[in-house]
Structure 1
Amino acid sequence: MQTGDIARFLIYAGLIIAAAGAVMLLLSKFGGINLGKLPGDISIRRENFSFHFPIVSSIVISIVITVILNLFFRK
């Protein structure tokens, strides 16, 4: 890989992350999918302890990213 290829990859990665953030922001404002609070996400709260593990949200994000990357990088 040359320096230009790495720079191009970083620019595309940044644009994808920014677009994902914008989509998540819009979905949360319009009552769409509220990632982090899906059924199956583990959340334990005690008096002075709180534990949150968004397992289902992680799976959903992984599936969406996999589909998007397969669409862009399919040979």
Structure 2
Amino acid sequence: MQKVILVTGLLIMIAGLLWPWLSRLPLGRLPGDLVFGSGNTRIHIPLTTMLLVSVLVSLLLWLWRR
């Protein structure tokens, strides 16, 4: 369990350091991501982004287990 927490912390730290470049990726603005807005309220549902991230994480975990 300690390794999982350590690796998760390192990944979050790396993502934070790389955020200026990661924010330029079109994740969250892909076709299929839903945005509803009215007045001052905006609801963002990133369906396509969630599916893409899920597939990538599943592929990485599958490769790691082999």
Query: Which TM class, normalised by the smaller chain length?
Result: 0.7 to 0.9
Runs (5+) with no aligned partner, structure 1: 1-5
Alignment match of 1:12 (pick from 7, 17, 27): 7
1:40, 1:21 → 2: CA distance? 26
TM-score (norm 1): 0.67
Q: CA RMSD in A?
A: 2.1
Higher RCO (Cα < 8 Å, 6 or more apart): 2
Percent of residue pairs bearing the same amino acid type:
30
Runs (5+) with no aligned partner, structure 2: none
TM-score (norm 2): 0.74
Aligned residue type for 2:10: L
Alpha-carbon distance, 1:24 to partner = 5.9
Equivalenced residue count is 66
For 1:26, the equivalent position in structure 2 comes to 21
* 2:43 corresponds to 1:51: yes
Say if 1:52 and 1:21 are closer, same or farther in 2 by CA, change over 3 A.
same
